[in-house]
Amino acid sequence: APEKRISAIRSLRNYNNHKQVTQLLEVLQDSSNDLKVRVTLAEALGWFNWSIRKADILKALDALLANKSLPQDLRDEVQQSFNRLL
């Protein structure tokens, strides 16, 4: 259920799990995932400011921003997280 996934994703803001970044980015990039899950995940990744995977996160967020068909809610959150990580 999206609600359980969203709850788990929100905890990432406080406990950045760097080992999961690859899987998290896959979920974020997969348009078959629930939009609210993806928006919440984009927001949580913006809190990975001190992550050893920060460059990978920025690269993935930048690639998403290049996607012209990205839903506006997701685009806004991806842009905000991108800016936060710079």
Burial call 54-68: b when 16+ CB within 10 Å, e when fewer: beebbebbeebeeee
Which pLDDT tens digit goes with each residue over 33-85? Answer: 999 999 999 999 999 999 999 999 999 999 999 999 999 999 999 999 999 99
The residue assigned the tokens 């760097």 is: 18
